[in-house]
Structure 1
Amino acid sequence: MTDATAFPSASDAGRAHLERLARRAADAAASAPARSSPYEGAGLDVHARIDAAVEDLEAELLGLGRALHADPEPGFEEHRAVARVADLLRAHGITARTGAHGLPTALRASAGSGDGPTVAVLAEYDALPGIGHGCGHHIICAAAVGAFLALVPVLERTGGTAVLLGTPAEENGTGKELLARAGAFDGVDAAVMIHPSSGPDLSDAPFLGLREVVVEYTGRAAHASAAPFMGRNALDAVVAAYQGVAALRQHILPDDRVHGVITEGGSRPNVVPERAAAHFYLRAATVESLAELSDRVQRIFEGAAAMTGTTVTTRWDDCPPCVPVRHNDVLAARFAQHLTGRGRTVLPGSAAPDSALGSTDLGNVSVRIPAIHPMLSVAPAGTALHTAEFAACAQGAEADRAVLDGAAALARTVADHLSDSDLRAAVEREFTEAGGALDVPKLLSTPTSP
């Protein structure tokens, strides 16, 4: 008999895998040349004023982040978070509009001339039910607020407009897509934000597209012992669908993901379940592969219905899909240069390809306007996001450092974009060559029967 203790636990093996990836990324960093940007930007004096402003704001920014961490609110319910942000802005003479663009927990504030280019700094502040800030969105918020406030005193030098946009429900509602459809990014030339992570600092990361589907089966109830032949078992159908998806996983692209839960499966063992349901997420690295994966999963659902004599209904995209992030390398290089100046080692996402295969609604912004989503480390390699362990790390000294470094580097990057027409032209040229602005609602259709 095999001794089970001879094998590491799944969690130990997973942690070891993440630590190997981090070592590989560190090796890549040691041999890779530092990323730099050839553009003049806003100038050293503007950058120095930004750094001084962030230093002056330190206590307020860290206080904001800690307050949000201690009082987590899920998506679309971040009322106290938005109020705290609005209060801090008001203390600095900035009026923020809450309930912006039709979302009660969205926020918008702006400063500058109102003419010339406009850059939006994006703040997230939603938390995970039961885990709290296990994704560190309080850090995103504090850094974004800091970047915006640090920009206010230099906008007379840079020209243009800075916007702080509070974006609710990244975790459970694709809030940025809802804001985009309501016009939040109309007239905005670029968008920037940071996100906390474990492992190395990254100027970009391979975020996947995401969509969801709810599948429901309807059968026929019957006495499970006296007359099972009269029934059609909806639970059998949903189990067959779940197993079909499991079998599919070995025949999909390495970056594709399908994962789900059975949400309903009957009420009593002596009744053939008349209704059963499941909820799945699908992810892929491109819109095309996400569409193909969706079609294959739809056919599995229909096959399970045929096997069991039940009927099936599918409901796709209760929340709008997230599309894969299109990073703007020109803007990301500028950010990386500023973050490196604060003593951090910043890698491109290609140096750590397996470091982030989650999804974010920033992707939906990034195919409308140039955008960046760099990752700043706040936890040791091997600490998974969306866990209580990461939430604990996200309130320590490294989290505080990420708030301040992120605020300064974001503000410097925005100031450069507003000041430097050559930089803006290069950012826009890259965006155009990558496909330009896309009509996000039309990218993914609802799968239908073949």
Structure 2
Amino acid sequence: MERKQKAFGVIDAHQEELIELSDRIFDHPEIGLQEYQACQWLTDYLERNGFAVERGVGGMETAFRAVYQQGNGGPSFGLLCEYDALEKQGHACGHHLQGPCIIGAAMAIQQAVKDKPYRLVVYGTPAEENYSGKITMIQNGCFQDIDIALMMHMDGATRVDVKSLANIKYSVIFHGVSAHAGRRPEDGKSALDGLLLSFQGIEFMREHVIDDVRMHYTVVDAGGPANVVPARAEGSFVLRSYDVEYLKDVDRRFRNIMQGAALMTDTTVEIKDLGFTHNKIPVLVLNDLLMKNARLVDAPQIAPPRAKTGSTDFSNVMTLVPSSCIRMAFVPITVGPHSQGYYDEGKTKAAHDGMLKGAKILAATMCDILEDPALMDQIKEEFAQNQRDKNYNKYKGDFS
């Protein structure tokens, strides 16, 4: 307990700096792949506090890796943070609070624990919202140097997850032949007709999938003026399910619908895969440690795991190493992410308190593992059993 109290004292001593940093990121929102300023601010702070920083890691210009080594050997703690904003909504998902929280947790261990060996690896992971940047980082060798991965995300309650929706994203482009829609429509082949029929196919399939499947689509490009048969039409599609194996079959049926729509309109179709995010693979030993420490710091609104979740590229990291994310309450439980309510609370005392208590929970969890190495053995064994049971190793970053 003494070690944890020292770690908490470090976070308290730096709280004004961490709050200022989170507010600065909030006031300068940058969408995914454009987080240049946030990346610079976070890495500058880490460098000033004794971390060796590499920028542009994992094939991503706004990603980073910051390392602090204490002694020789010991566990390697991965601390992951996001800092991308939403287009037109700013930081309505609370990502501005993640980097300062993770830095606070890392500095707490760095300054409070000098008698045990360990490594701290802070990974800055861009573009969670629009690009699933962690997948690119995995494909370029990141996260191989850590024993566990920890994150913090803001929420309407303090809790951990035991599941998430696996997610496949596509860009679908229909190619047709343009013609004058009034004088010679018979010469045309409407790409827009193909896209619209693909939407109808999705709707007819919707009745014949299991209840947790989610299917979304929108028009990206519908052609031009109404008096021209559209030669090109593009749509954006997303498929989700809690069951990866079932989602593979939905993917097969989706591709057949796209080909069928092209066949009916005598057009051609191009399906671009934009990425696959896995469903979460929980390690309950690690989840329990986080929640034990949430109670220790008197975190607000402690609740059971969510019944409904979205998707995250952190799930792909969870196929590589034991991982967990503590979700910290700062809004009413009825307020969801990507909403005005999330945005309005982004610089409040509740947001700042959630960030700082999140840092303490992560630091306390690392203290537990350092003090009792058997915990790491239990975490690794549960993770290995998960992989044996579900054969998750087939899905390390790719959907094939």
Asked if these proteins are the same fold (TM beyond 0.5), I'd say yes
**Amino acid across the alignment from 1:178:** T
Given candidates 353, 373, 376, the residue that maps to 2:307 is: 353
**One of 345, 356, 359 as aligned partner of 1:404:** 356
Instruction: For residue 250 of structure 1, report the CA deviation from its aligned partner.
Output: 2.8
Question: How far has the Cα of 1:187 moved from its partner?
Answer: 2.9
Which runs of 4 or more aligned residues in structure 1 lie more than 4 Å from their structure 2 counterparts after TM superposition?
none
Spell out the pairing of 1:61-210 with structure 2 (5 A cutoff). Answer: 61-111=18-68, 112-198=70-156, 200-210=157-167
The correspondence for 1:291, drawn from 238, 243, 248, is 248
Deviation at residue 135 of structure 1 after TM alignment: 0.9
* Pairing 1:382-393 to 2, within 5 Å after superposition: 382-393=334-345
Provide the rounded CA distance (Å) in 2 between the counterparts of 1:224 and 1:154. Answer: 73
The one-letter code of the counterpart of 1:86 is: T
- Answer yes or no: is the 8 Å Cα contact 2:276–2:397 preserved in 1: no
**Equivalent position of 2:185 in the other structure:** 228
Out of 409-418 and 60-69, give the one that drifted further. Answer: 409-418
- CA distance in structure 1 between the aligned counterparts of 2:331 and 2:294, rounded to whole angstroms: 17
* Matching of residue 430 in structure 1 with residue 387 in structure 2: no
SS at match of 1:383: coil
AA paired with 1:91?
R
CA distance in 1, matches of 2:188, 2:138: 48
Whole-angstrom CA distance in 1 between matches of 2:319 and 2:111? 31
**Cα distance change, pair 202–186 in 1 and its aligned pair in 2 (3 A):** same
Aligned match of 1:331: 286
> Is 2:329 the counterpart of 1:415?
no
Q: Single out whichever of 177-186 and 238-247 deviates more from structure 2.
A: 177-186
Report if the CA contact (8 A) 2:328-2:355 is conserved: no
Q: Say which of 300, 308, 313 aligns to 2:257.
A: 300
The residue matched to 1:426 in structure 2 has which SS? helix
SS at match of 1:315: strand
| 1:343–1:441 Cα change, 3 Å | closer
Aligned-partner SS, 1:373: strand
**8 Å CA contact 1:155, 1:161 repeated in 2:** no
Q: For residues 47 and 24 of structure 2, what CA distance do their matches in structure 1 show?
A: 17
Query: Structure 1 residue 259 and structure 2 residue 216: aligned?
Result: yes
After superposing the two structures, state which structure 1 stretch, 333-342 or 93-102, moved more: 93-102
Per the alignment, residue 14 of structure 1 pairs with none
Structure 1 CA distance for aligned equivalents of residues 147 and 279 of structure 2:
20
Q: Output the CA distance in 2 between the equivalents of 1:113 and 1:100.
A: 25
Shift in Å, 1:229: 2.3
Q: Residue in 2 aligned with 1:369?
A: 321
Partners of 2:336 and 2:98 in 1: how far apart? 17
TM-score normalised according to structure 1 size: 0.84
Deviation at 1:421, TM superposition (A): 1.7
Structure 1 pair 173–80 and aligned structure 2 pair: CA distance change class (3 A): same
Which residue in the other structure is 1:13 paired with? Answer: none
Counterparts in 2 of 1:118 and 1:442: CA distance versus 1, 3 Å: closer
User: 1:443 offset after TM fit, Å?
Assistant: 5.0
* Partners of 2:277 and 2:397 within 8 A in 1: no
**For residue 294 of structure 2, what is the amino acid of its counterpart?**
L
Q: 1:442 to 1:136 in 2, by over 3 A?
A: closer
Query: Aligned-pair distance for 1:102?
Result: 3.5
> Which ranges in structure 2 are unaligned for 5 or more consecutive residues?
none
Aligned counterparts of 2:124 and 2:113: Cα–Cα separation in 1: 20
How big is the shift at 1:393?
1.5
Superposed CA deviations along residues 58-77 of structure 1, whole A, max 9, x for unmatched, are 10111111111011111121
Deviations 1:400-448 (A, max 9, x none): 1111110000011122223322101110111011016725357522xxx
For normalisation by structure 2, the TM-score amounts to 0.94
- Do the aligned partners of residues 315 and 441 (structure 1) sit closer, same or farther apart at CA in structure 2, a change above 3 Å counting? farther
Please say if residues 55 and 61 of structure 2, whose CA atoms lie closer than 8 Å, have aligned partners that are also in contact: yes
Residue 371 of structure 1, CA deviation: 0.0
| Rounded Cα–Cα distance in structure 1 between residues aligned with 2:346 and 2:207 | 35
User: Given the superposition, is the C-alpha separation of residues 239 and 114 from structure 1 closer, same or farther in structure 2, using an over 3 Å criterion?
Assistant: farther
Instruction: Flag the 1:385–1:277 CA change in 2: closer, same or farther, 3 A.
Output: same
Preserved contact between residue 189 and residue 370 of structure 1 (Cα < 8 Å): yes
Give the number of equivalent residue pairs.
395
Is the contact made by 1:86 and 1:95 (CA closer than 8 Å) also made in structure 2? no
Distance 1:408 1:117, change over 3 A: same
AA matched with 1:304: A
| Distance (whole Å) between structure 2 residues aligned to residue 269 and residue 132 of structure 1 | 35
Distance 1:181 1:224 in 2: 46
Q: CA deviation at 1:212?
A: 0.9
Of 133-142 and 96-105, more deviation after overlay is shown by: 96-105
